[in-house]
Structure 1
Amino acid sequence: MSNWRFKEIVVLSALSVVFAVVYLAFLPVGKILVGFFGPIGYDLIFGIWFIVSIIAAYIIRKPGAAFISETIAAMVEVLLGSAVGPLLIVSGMIQGLGAEAAFAATRWKNYSTWVLMAAGVGAALFSFAYGYFMSGYAALSTTYVFGMLIARMVSGALIAGLLGKALSDGLAQTGVLSSFALGKEYRRKKAA
């Protein structure tokens, strides 16, 4: 983070704290969906738990933004009293690594819609692999587990990728991100 500006660190931290609260707020929604659909219920909305990594990386556009933001969000969730406890930090780190992998694959130079969606899918894949071993998915039928994986990947692409892009673009339109990479890109497009 040696080449990060102070305001980038502040924005990344603020986003992480805000989304930690959002993440906790969505737990009851996930529980309701699990009540209706079984374990796959969480996977239908799992993308919400990856969204800060996409937003932070899209706005700041520096290596580590996805990983750090997701890790901080998980730490804040634990501090706010998440029932999962400290293992949640590991989960956040894994999700952040999955998103970061998509940006790393482009050498942190491409933040197109497709790359943002791929980052959501990356977070889904990494988190699912971790969850498979930690949550006992092996006890479920292979078909059901495959359905869970597909649902999580779609959720990562649509909720984290597309919704994260839409929220970030909305912020850029207000001008509050004018000194960030996304804000500068938005100004260039608007001037063209």
Structure 2
Amino acid sequence: MNSWKLKEIVVMSTLSVVFAVIYLAFLPIGKILVGFFGPIGYDLIFGIWFIVSIIAAYIIRKPGAAFLSETIAATVEVLLGNAVGPMLIIAGMIQGAGAESAFAITRYKKYTLATLMFAGVMAAVFSFAWGYFRSGYAALDSSYVFAMLVLRMVSGALISGVLGKYLSDALAKTGVLSSFALGKEMRRRRAA
């Protein structure tokens, strides 16, 4: 039952490529926010960089979807020229593992809004732990670092979780996801 179908791999990969481009497009926005607010500026929108993991997991509903989609997106970002380079692939894997952990906790059986928001929060926590050591957050005031973490978690919950659910549901309503787990769930809801 958990084996992947070719169409699921194709959709996950396509989503990953699309969001890799979107991720790159958000880098200048993040830099503008950092210019205004300092390092905390990125945390305001950090949830955008987790969104493909939530969308792919919500649509496909198979173990590994969150992790793999985020890893593919990070790899594509590097290939497209993200200045961070190969270290970004590790960051993507960590973010994907964070989101994946939320779905694993529910044993891949709950895909409610609360679960999607929790996945965004977990991606934020995992990425923040990585960033704490990689980006030298320890040199910053502890209350500022705590505010960064809270903002990143809120961004993960709202941008990745809420917006990810909204975008996936909107796509499913068009009928293009009718043969995927999300599309089948929507048909069941309409029939009930």
TM bracket, shorter-chain basis? over 0.9
Identical-residue share of aligned pairs (%): 78
Residue 3 of structure 1: CA displacement? 0.7
Alignment match, 2:115? 115
Alignment match, 2:20? 20
Give the RMSD, CA atoms, in angstroms.
1.0
> Could you tell me how far apart the structure 1 residues matched to 2:105 and 2:28 are?
35
Alignment match, 1:187? 187
| Runs of 5+ consecutive residues of structure 1 not aligned to the other structure | none
Secondary structure at 1:83 match in 2? coil
- Write out aligned runs for 1:1-192 (5 A): 3-192=3-192
Cα distance per residue 1:41-71 (max 9 Å; x no partner): 0000000000000000000000000000000
Q: How many residues align?
A: 192
Instruction: Return the TM-score normalized by structure 2.
Output: 0.99
Residue 191 of structure 1: CA displacement? 1.3
Q: Which amino acid aligns with 2:64?
A: G
Instruction: Return the TM-score normalized by structure 1.
Output: 0.99
Secondary structure at 1:111 match in 2? coil
Cα distance per residue 1:156-177 (max 9 Å; x no partner): 0000000000000000100000
Residue 151 of structure 1: CA displacement? 0.3
> Could you tell me how far apart the structure 2 residues matched to 1:178 and 1:186 are?
8
Cα distance per residue 1:113-143 (max 9 Å; x no partner): 0000000000000000000000000010000
Secondary structure at 1:175 match in 2? coil
Q: Which amino acid aligns with 2:136?
A: G
Secondary structure at 1:45 match in 2? helix
Q: Which amino acid aligns with 2:35?
A: G
| Runs of 5+ consecutive residues of structure 2 not aligned to the other structure | none
Q: Which amino acid aligns with 1:90?
A: I
Q: Which amino acid aligns with 1:52?
A: V
Q: Which amino acid aligns with 1:99?
A: A
> Could you tell me how far apart the structure 2 residues matched to 1:169 and 1:123 are?
21
Secondary structure at 1:22 match in 2? helix
> Could you tell me how far apart the structure 2 residues matched to 1:139 and 1:170 are?
43
Residue 34 of structure 1: CA displacement? 0.3
